[in-house]
Amino acid sequence: MTSRVKSLREQVYSFLRTQMNEGAVEPGEFLMLGEMARELGISKTPLRDALFQLEAEGFVRIFPRRGVMVRVLDLPEIANIYEILGSLESTAIINNVSKFSKTHVDRMNNLIDEMTLALDRSDFDAFYEKNLAFHDTYINLSTNSDLVHMIRIYKQRLYDFPRKKGFLKEWEIDSMGEHRELVDLFEKGDFEGASKFVRDVHWSYSVQERYIKRYYFASSHELDHPEGEGNL
């Protein structure tokens, strides 16, 4: 895969993400390919190439002679993604024990502090970015580029396609507690325990199910919103 193809994929992905987050396109809708090509300044052929890649990654579905539809994220798929992410992150931990140091523990503790401040401000976007950085602290120790890439793709599928307007503060608070437990395991040098905790608790669909159903399938007024935004 060339860097040009990667760049084009990211352009199309970013365009679709923005369109959905602004409400211009909804999951389940068919895309206007001619309009997209004009907006991006490309022809339909490279656009289709990028969409084929996004289909393989689960973002869209291509129907012959009908067009391209943004995929709807349903509960069975969310459960599958949680299982996959738990396995991948667990593997990233256990396979890179020798690379982990106190510097990584300190960084994760600092990110927990920053996430706490973001929650206090009801700034979910900042919380989300710090949360990704927290996990990336140990994920990026891996030299398995395919593993790291797949984790990124599945998290985009969960969180960015589209990004919810609100959040569940109760879930984020519980998640922060899990982050602290994970860091405690790292500090103790219990990497096997940390690996199992990520897989069997943090990314366990059964453990997180009550929050998943509320977050992904609640109406906007049932979610928490940053101050000043109101219920959209």
What CATH number is attached to the domain comprising 98? 1.20.120.530
Q: How many structural domains compose the chain?
A: 2
Q: Dump pLDDT digits (tens) for 9-18.
A: 889 988 998 8
107 in any annotated domain: yes
Shared domain for 169 and 85, answered yes or no, is: yes
Q: How many CA atoms lie within 13 A of 151 on its CB side?
A: 22
User: Which sign, positive or negative, has the C-alpha torsion 121, 124, 130, 134?
Assistant: positive
Shared domain for 105 and 177, answered yes or no, is: yes
Domain extent, residue 44, equals 3-70
Shared domain for 66 and 81, answered yes or no, is: no
99 in any annotated domain: yes
Q: What angle do CA 73, 76, 82 make, to 5 degrees?
A: 85
Shared domain for 56 and 134, answered yes or no, is: no
Whether pLDDT at 81 is above 90: yes
Final residue before a domain boundary, out of 30, 46, 70: 70
Rounded distance, CA 1 to CA 22, Å? 31
Whether pLDDT at 92 is above 80: yes
Which of 14-18, 136-140, 159-163, 225-229 is least confident?
Answer: 225-229
Q: Dump pLDDT digits (tens) for 23-54.
A: 888 899 999 999 999 999 999 888 988 999 99
Domain CATH for 9: 1.10.10.10
Shared domain for 192 and 84, answered yes or no, is: yes
Shared domain for 48 and 88, answered yes or no, is: no
113 in any annotated domain: yes
pTM above 0.85? yes
Confidence (pLDDT) at 221: 55
Shared domain for 86 and 32, answered yes or no, is: no
Where does 41-159 have alpha helices with state H? 44-56, 75-94, 102-120, 124-139, 145-159
Rounded distance, CA 146 to CA 161, Å? 21
Residue recorded with tokens 């997180």: 208
Shared domain for 46 and 132, answered yes or no, is: no
**Contact by Cβ (8 Å): 16, 70:** yes
Task: Please name the residues in contact with 42: beta carbons below 8 A apart, sequence gap of 6 or more.
Answer: 8, 11
More confident residue, 171 or 218: 171
More confident residue, 105 or 226: 105
Shared domain for 135 and 45, answered yes or no, is: no
Burial (CB < 10 A; 0-12, 13-18, 19+), residue 29, is middle
Rounded distance, CA 6 to CA 46, Å? 11
Final residue before a domain boundary, out of 41, 70, 99: 70
Rounded distance, CA 1 to CA 211, Å? 38
229 in any annotated domain: no
Helix (H) or strand (E) run with residue 188 in it: none
**Contact by Cβ (8 Å): 51, 62:** yes
232 in any annotated domain: no
